[in-house]
Structure 1
Amino acid sequence: MKPTVLNTPNSNLLELEHVSFSYPDGGIGLDDCTLIIRHGSRNALIGANGSGKTTLFQHCNGLLQPQSGLVRYDGEAIDYGRKGLRQLRSKVGMVFQNPDRQLFSASVQEDVSFGPFNLGLAESAVRQRVAAALLAVGMEAFANKAVHNLSYGEKKRVCIAGVLAMEPELLVLDEPMAGLDQRMQEELLIVLDELHERGITLLLATHDIDFAYRWADRLHLISAGRCTATLEAADLADCGDALSAVGLPLPKVVELHNRLMAKGALSNERTPRTPRTHGELLALL
């Protein structure tokens, strides 16, 4: 099944074109995978565990190189030389699922400073970037705290701050909600929404169709290492076949809305579009 690609001229920030990658043990990471991420969009890459989400993300900033196919950033093929990768990683920031894989300095400030110092910036510029990044994620009061004394959710915020200090154009987050309780998830979503308002393009991985539906502009479905479809979130109610093809159900709020419509509790006149949250559905009722 070929991917459904949503595209408009001059709008693409990141493109994977027929990318394939296999691991040394023979495991397939990506299989003829095509994906387009537009400037300024909020994107959810959704698929089951082992579907290829992490492998795809590692191609976004050059941690892995395609064995076939092509990755483009802002219209240009990625240069995998040292200079090219350094430039790419200053624009594409990645936050891993486990924050302990990303944090290695003694204090919060030292950790967030690492990337900007590697760019060769002056100390005064680094300090400004670090302060702004910590402020953006609500961790400015933790600058001198020891990393090992932070909670899991606080560590995730510091990881995001470390990436933000590089002033990226695209922020890639691998399962950012994993391991967070409901309050921490809500706090992280506020941070992500604020970053999006600042113009940062967002791409995150999830296996939660309900969360993806209410948060993202576009959902990219991945199965067995291949992106099978790219769907506008606003049109998801009409995409049940594409979802079921990769083993995903319709979002619960869509199912409930459809049943209420079938029972006559709601009419097409009152619901010109399918609600994306339970709050929107309750307001209609």
Structure 2
Amino acid sequence: MFKINNLTYQYEKNAIALNNINMDFSKGDVIGIIGSNGSGKSTLFMNLMGILQPSKGEIYFKDKEIKYTKKGLLNLRKNVGIVFQDPEKQIFYSKVYDDIAFALRNLGIDEATIKIRIEKALKAVNGIDFINKPVHFLSYGQKKRVAIASVIAMENEIVLLDEPTAGLDPVSTRLIVDIIKGLKNHNIKIVISSHDMNLIYEICDYVYVLNKGNLTACGSTEEVFVNEEELNSAGLELPWLVKLHKNIEIPLFKEEQDLYKYWKNEVLVTNKP
């Protein structure tokens, strides 16, 4: 998996987007990268994909330093996929099937295998019903799911998701959460950049906090999110379950259902006449 050593990236001479970043993605199955606008999250993702090359430092994948040659980047992108915040940036064909097939055809995969992969990928995102639909007929949320399906069809070992639920309604958001959990269950490593702290708290097991290009905190999800001062400094807020833990002194729960179970078994039973 990815390991980042002393990564620095400068867009301009005096503008440092990432400053001496160290990360190890072997520490979790679903990694969260959080920070406010301008913190460096998207720049980090572009460095991981080789779209940008570090000004200083190294990025390793599977214990080998990334090589910024055509061959080196091709090998990287066979194993690592990215879903951008705006699905329009990675959907190029007019029909869903052809768009997902594009990268597979470039790799020389036969059409029978492509068909199997596309159907499998669309089923994974609950999108098989629009396999032959024109892309312009799809909603924003459906386009996000097609973008994710394109990455799933590549059978990547690791998937980078940049703000996967941004701009989605609650139903579409829950679908994306279910997709991410499904990928994890199939042993695919997930790295998520998001402003949605409730999403990160629910599905991530390790979190890195970026603040103006600096890595200011990291640790298990629970460790990071109980540090309210650090999160406030980074322009972030606590997830609602952590707020309840802090403000009404109940145990810290990772999932909503655990809170309801506790309330039913401990609070209501204790106070029952």
Determine if the alignment matches structure 1 residue 112 to structure 2 residue 100: yes
Contact 2:96 2:131 (C-alpha < 8 Å) held by counterparts: yes
Query: How far apart, CA to CA, are the structure 1 residues paired with 2:254 and 2:69?
Result: 43
Contact 1:39 1:201 (C-alpha < 8 Å) held by counterparts: no
Which of 215, 237, 259 matches 1:281?
259
Q: How does 1:1-285 map to 2 (within 5 A)?
A: 13-24=1-12, 26-38=14-26, 41-236=29-224, 238-261=226-249, 266=250, 271=251, 274-285=252-263
Change (3 A) 1:240 1:181: same
Contact 1:115 1:165 (C-alpha < 8 Å) held by counterparts: no
Shift of 1:258: 2.7
The normalised TM-score by structure 1 is 0.87
**Aligned partner letter, 1:275:** F
**Aligned partner letter, 2:245:** H
Query: How far apart, CA to CA, are the structure 1 residues paired with 2:97 and 2:198?
Result: 35
For residues 177-217 of structure 1, give each alpha carbon's deviation from its aligned partner in whole angstroms, at most 9, with x where no partner exists.
Answer: 11100010001111111111001001111122232112211
Aligned-residue identity in percent:
35
Contact 2:209 2:216 (C-alpha < 8 Å) held by counterparts: yes
Shift of 1:241: 4.2
Contact 1:40 1:196 (C-alpha < 8 Å) held by counterparts: no
Change (3 A) 1:16 1:144: same
Shift of 1:245: 3.9
Runs of 4+ in 1 over 6 A off after TM superposition: none
**Aligned partner letter, 1:282:** Y
**Aligned partner letter, 1:258:** K
Shift of 1:237: 5.4
Query: How far apart, CA to CA, are the structure 2 residues paired with 1:223 and 1:254?
Result: 21
DSSP-derived class of the 1:59 partner: helix
DSSP-derived class of the 2:160 partner: strand
Flag structure 1 segments of 5+ consecutive residues without an equivalent.
1-12
How many equivalent pairs are there? 263
Contact 1:107 1:144 (C-alpha < 8 Å) held by counterparts: yes
Contact 1:40 1:199 (C-alpha < 8 Å) held by counterparts: no
Flag structure 2 segments of 5+ consecutive residues without an equivalent.
264-273
Question: RMSD in angstroms over aligned alpha carbons?
Answer: 1.8
Query: How far apart, CA to CA, are the structure 2 residues paired with 1:280 and 1:81?
Result: 49
Change (3 A) 1:116 1:37: same
Change (3 A) 1:39 1:145: farther
Query: How far apart, CA to CA, are the structure 1 residues paired with 2:216 and 2:167?
Result: 28
Contact 2:204 2:221 (C-alpha < 8 Å) held by counterparts: yes
The normalised TM-score by structure 2 is 0.90
**Aligned partner letter, 1:104:** F
For residues 136-190 of structure 1, give each alpha carbon's deviation from its aligned partner in whole angstroms, at most 9, with x where no partner exists.
Answer: 1111221111111110000001101111111101110110111100010001111
Shift of 1:45: 0.6
